[in-house]
Each structure stands twice: as C-alpha cells, then as structure tokens.
Amino acid sequence: MTTPRSIIDKIWDQHVVADLGDGRVLLHIDRHMLHEVTSPQAYAGLAAAGRRLRRPDLTFATADHIVSTENGRTDDTVPGGPEMIRALRANAESTGVALFDLGDVRQGIVHVIAPELGIALPGATLVCGDSHTSTVGALGAMAWGIGTSEVEHVMATQTAILRRPPTMRITFTGTRPAGVSAKDMVLKLIATIGTAGATGYGVEYAGPAIRALSMEERMTVCNMSVELGARFGLIAPDAVTFAYLQGRPFAPAGDLWERAVEAWRALASDPGARFDAEIELDVSTLTPQVSWGTSPQDCIGVGDTVPDPECEADPKRRQAMRRALDYIGLEPGTPIRDLPVDMVFIGSCTNSRIEDLRAAAAVLKGRRVAAGLRALVVPGSGQVRRQAEAEGLDRVFTAAGFEWREPGCSMCAGMNADRVPPGKRCVATSNRNFEGRQGPGARTHLASPATAAAAAVAGRIVDVRSLAAHSLEGSA
Amino acid sequence: MPEPIHRITGIAAPLPRANVDTDAIIPKAHLLTIHRSGLGAGLFSEWRFDDDGRERPDFVLNQAPWREAKILLAGENFGCGSSREHAVWSLMDFGIRCVIAPSFASIFHENCQKNGLAAVTLDETALAHLVAVVQAMPAATMTVDIETCRVTAPDGREFPFTMEAARRQALLEGLDEIGASLRHDAAMAAFEARDRAQRPWIHALPTA
C-alpha cells in the first residue's frame, strides 16, 4: 500500500527534473505567462548573458498592468508605458512567444486569460511575474508568482528552483447563504487567519462549500491565496473544471482531451493524505464582507462596526490598527454600513470575469449610480467584454452611469491613469487595500462585485441583501 | 549576477513595522521602466517625500545617520504583496545590503536571494533589542556576518541566526543560478522526453 498523497504531492512529484540537495529541486514549468512590467528586465538579462528562451511554445505574453483602459486606446498610456508595451512586443516577436496584444480580443489581465484560453490546465505548473498567479490554481494547477530574476530563470531553463512547501488544507464547510459571494468567503478567511496565516504554504481549498462554487468563483478564492501569504492555492479538478475547459483554444482536444481528463481525475488528494496544517471555516452564517483598514485582513461583516485598537491586546497590532484608521479616516465603533463613498471600481484579476459582471449588473439593473460618484467597470479580458456586450450587460452598466472600459489591471494596480484621488474613498472588487495602492492617499474598501454595485447606487456602503426590500434611490 | 558577500558592517535603520508591502517599498510610479537601475530614488517614496516632493523629516531614512543605512531592521512579514523585484532593486540601489526581520513574505525572500540582498531572520525579542540599541546609539555600526551566521549589535551583543545552506552559499559565492541550472541539461532533456510521453497535452499545444 502506497502512502496517500495530496494533490500538491502528486503535482510536485510529476515535475521534479533534478534534486539539487539541501531540500531543493529543479521543477519543470509547464506554462509561463509574461506581462509588460516584470518581463523587460528578464529579457535584458537573458540577452546580456547570450542565452535563449528555451520553450517559446510554453510561454505566452500580454500587456495588462499599465495599459490604458480608455475606449479607442492606443499604446499611449502613462509616461514610460508605451516603451514597456513596445518592449514586450519586440521581445515576444524576437523569441517566438505568442503575444495577445492590444486590439486582440484575447488580450486581458494575465490571470483572466490564462484559464479563459485554456493555457492553464489541471495538474500543470504555471508561473508568472505577478503575485496573483495563484488565481489559476482554481483549475487544479500549481501556480505561483515569481520575481523578475526567476522569470529569467524560467525563460532560460523552463524550470524553477523550489523547496517543497509545507502544505495546508483549508476546508470550507456548510452552505453559503444567498447574497454571499466567493469573495466574501475568501475575505472572511483572510480576516480569520491573517495575511501571514499561510506564509510559505502550498494550500488546497476543499470542502462542500468549495465544491459548490462555479469555476470563476473558485478563481476568486484562489486569487487571494497570496493575501494569506501562501505560495499557491489550488482546488482539485472535478466535473466543473472539465466542463469549463473543454473546447478552449489551448486546451487539449480529441483523444488528447480524453487522456488528459483521465489523468486529471487522479489528481485529487488521496483519502488520508497528510497536510502540515488544517483549517476549517463554516460559511453557513457568513455575511457580505467589507474591509475597514489597509490590509486585506482588516475585514468585517457589512453589519459590523470598525474595531477599536484599544481593545487589541497585542501592542504591535494595536499600533498597526491605529495607523490604518488614521490613513483610512475612520473612527473605532463606526458602523461600516452607510459610510459614504466617492468611487466604485469593478474589475481586477479577483473579480472581472463574466459572472462578476453579471452579479454587479443584476444589482444595477434599473438603478442609477448616486450623484457625484464615479464608477468604473473594467472587464478582465476582451472576451469577457465581448460576452458582456452580447448579453447586454454593457448597456446595464452605462445606463446606470458606469464607465464601460477596455480590459486591463486598471484601478487595482493603479499603474495606468486609473487612480483614486488622495483622500477619496473607493469600494473596489480588487484584492489589496494597501496604503496608496489605488493612488497616493486613496482609501480602498474591498468587497464583492454585488456589494460594490450596491455601494455605487447608494453612494454609501450598504448590505446588498437589503436591496430587494428597499428602493435605494429614496433612502440616501 | 550578484556580487559575493561575506559580511556587512554599517549603520542599521529601524523600521519595525509589520506587513510592510512591496507597494510601500517601491510605489507604482517608479515601476514604469524597462530598466532595473536607479530605483533607489523611489524607495519608500510615499513615506520619504510629501506631495511636493519634499523629504518628510520624521521618516527614518530621512534622518542622519540612518539615511546612510546599509542594514534595515524590519517587522514581520516584510515584503508582502506584489511580486515586484523592483522592491529589492530599490533597496539595494539606496545602499541597503541586509534586511533583518522576524519573517519575510515568500516571493520577496526569493527575490532577495537572487540579487544578493541578505535577508536575515531573527526573533521578535532579538529584533526589539537591536531596534532599542540603534535608537540609543544611531551612529554605531552593526555587523552581519554571513560566514559565521551572527549579528553583532552596536552594544557588542551577538545574535546567531540560521540560514538555509543554499541561501547562505549563494550570498557567499554570488552564484550564477541560471548557469548552474543549465548544467542540468541532460536531466532536463530526459524529463522532457518522459513527460512528452506521459502528458503530451502539456507539450503539444495548438498554435495561436
């Protein structure tokens, strides 16, 4: 009888190229995604050393971080940006790497397009010079973010040097209540175990509440693995995964598809597989979550009040909370509900897929954005945008007063012109509420697409579940 | 390829704040470049400078002698958030050669190693001592010895630390990691042949 293995063990064992000693191995990388911010210096390093990019056929590039999201956009974006876009174009061309360029319907946020195009696959290793690469773990891939030196290493060798991470299984139990989203699940998890709660771990998300999620909802959960400090987070593939992938452009087809699915079915953790840590979270009483501070762990239920640092026992935590409240401009004890907001951003690799847009549009239908509030919706990819337009969602957004924009990271990374002005308060469907993340002095409140849409209509943070019973227009 | 580094002796600046993220270390305005040089100007720029570009006198790296710091005393989970290696490049361009913290975020930790920035882990108690000492005697130097794995505080107290052998060796030798990995070419060729047979869908992609 062989030792039961977790899905992480199975993927790891499949990819070991060489043992380097001291616990380190050379691990094969099946898919490498490039973007314009973290690849140019890697390409320069490769060229300076006279090395070639080993597997252009396994490497894919797109521009997303700094691109303009204006309709009718060109390379022209923030100063320095056009040079980065052109460098990516020239580098992809000279190394034979497929590029999903501006104007190509396949362009989009790198973690949105990797699953959408069938580039990310179950059981595969996938890396990208971006911390939210963990998103595609939702397909059952082992996917993690790397720095630029490692990008160069993967370009040259198609491998990464890794030490086997300790493993953690996070089991979501219970049934998610109506009006509560996958985003609320992951925000609650981060609030519960903290942004360093899984530092260095390889995480498997499991349990009935995970199995009940759609493919895109799983991506939202896995996306924020890095906000737990995890190296990666994944979900064992199942019928939901296979149905999502079949027929996608870079997914296997025909006989290969059948063979692949057979192999993928064997990936799930064996009964009795050992994990170094186990966490369980019941979602039965979960409520919509909103962040109050400057760390993703600073989240509370929409019906709760801002916590008081003076009630915190740990002096360091107390100090961090005071600093966060000072930055965000909130007093302890204030209800988070009814907090007036200036902007709403729906987008990012966390929540810019078609289901996210549908959830927001369902709230917005027949309603208007509050007077004086700026609201943006930035689809995650050209394909998401096109699908949304086919469903008429763009008209719901624009009729409500939202800006309907071209795909990119936009106001999540805050690297292009899409910024939250200093001191302004923004409800965002993105993943980081760090100081200055959405622009210097910007105040970010993380939430789900439905909660963000509701905030746009009300001009303040509201419980989206109350919308059916009350007319928002009259209540502000 | 990083320079070999055996020991670092210099001024140590205290920044004992938990969860300092890479957005804070190098704000995004400084990422709009295809180069890795000159990023020191952007280090902690939103903390170092006000909206008009003037130095904020209360920020530690704007104070003498800490503006000359080679060592940074940091809080837990240092370098969390974005994978941007620009964070390490900006620290090094500013003159920082070593960060001592109770813990580091994973990607940042890797980025440190690949650039020869010494990332040393000490427990909270040891760090609290180091912070107190440098605040009392800011102009005295601290030594971080990679060979003996020992931090010598300005007051003479010594704190041993542990560092993974490979990490330590990389610092001491300034390893060309890619060059070393490329020497496993035969193993890689064997892997690819085996894997193509086992998982052809990984290697035989439809063309774009």
- How far from the centroid of its chain's Cα atoms is residue B62's Cα? 20
Q: Which of residues 215-274 of A touch B (CB under 8 A)?
A: 226, 229, 231, 249-250, 252-253, 256-257, 259-260, 263
Q: How far is CA A275 from CA A211, A222, B82, in A?
A: 19, 18, 27
Q: Looking at CA atoms only, how far is residue A443 from chain B in angstroms?
A: 14
Q: Looking at CA atoms only, how far is residue A400 from chain B in angstroms?
A: 31
The ipTM estimated for the assembled molecules is: 0.93
Confidence of residue B140 (pLDDT cuts 50, 70, 90): very high
- Compare CB distances from A149 to B23, B46, B115 and report the shortest one's residue: B115
Nearest CA in chain B to A133: B83
What does the domain layout of chain A look like in residue ranges?
7-278, 289-475
Is there a contact between B17 and A38 if contact means CB atoms under 8 Å apart? no
Which CATH code, of 3.40.50.1700, 3.30.499.10, 3.60.150.10, 3.40.50.300, is assigned to A7-278?
3.30.499.10
- Give yes or no for residue A418 having a pLDDT over 80: yes
- Determine the Cα–Cα distance for residues A68 and A222; give it in Å rounded to an integer: 27
Confidence of residue A62 (pLDDT cuts 50, 70, 90): very high
Question: Residues B148-168: what's their mean pLDDT?
Answer: 96
Contact predicate A197/A456, CB 8 Å: no
- How far from the centroid of its chain's Cα atoms is residue A363's Cα? 22
Residue B37: how many CA atoms within 13 Å on its side-chain side? 2
- Give yes or no for residue B208 having a pLDDT over 60: no
Confidence of residue B175 (pLDDT cuts 50, 70, 90): confident
- Determine the Cα–Cα distance for residues B26 and B84; give it in Å rounded to an integer: 9
SS (H, E, C) A189-230: HHHHHCCCCCCCCEEEEECHHHHCCCHHHHHHHHHHHHHHCC
Residues of B with Cβ-Cβ distance to A263 under 8 angstroms: 199
Question: Residues A183-208: what's their mean pLDDT?
Answer: 97
pLDDT of residue A1: 62
pLDDT above 90 coverage of chain A, percent? 96
Give the pair of three-digit tokens for residue A2.
Answer: 């062989």
Nearest CA in chain A to B36: A41
pLDDT (tens digit per residue) in A229-256: 999 999 999 999 999 999 999 999 999 9
* Residue contacts between A and B (CB atoms, under 8 Å): 185
Q: Structural domains in chain B?
A: 7-175 (3.20.19.10), 176-208 (no CATH)
Is there a contact between A131 and B82 if contact means CB atoms under 8 Å apart? yes
pLDDT above 70 coverage of chain A, percent? 98
pLDDT of residue A467: 83
Q: Looking at CA atoms only, how far is residue A174 from chain B in angstroms?
A: 30
The reply to whether A289-475 shares the fold of A7-278 is: yes
Domain A289-475 belongs to what topology?
Answer: Aconitase; domain 3 (3.30.499)
**A161 touches B at CB < 8 Å:** yes
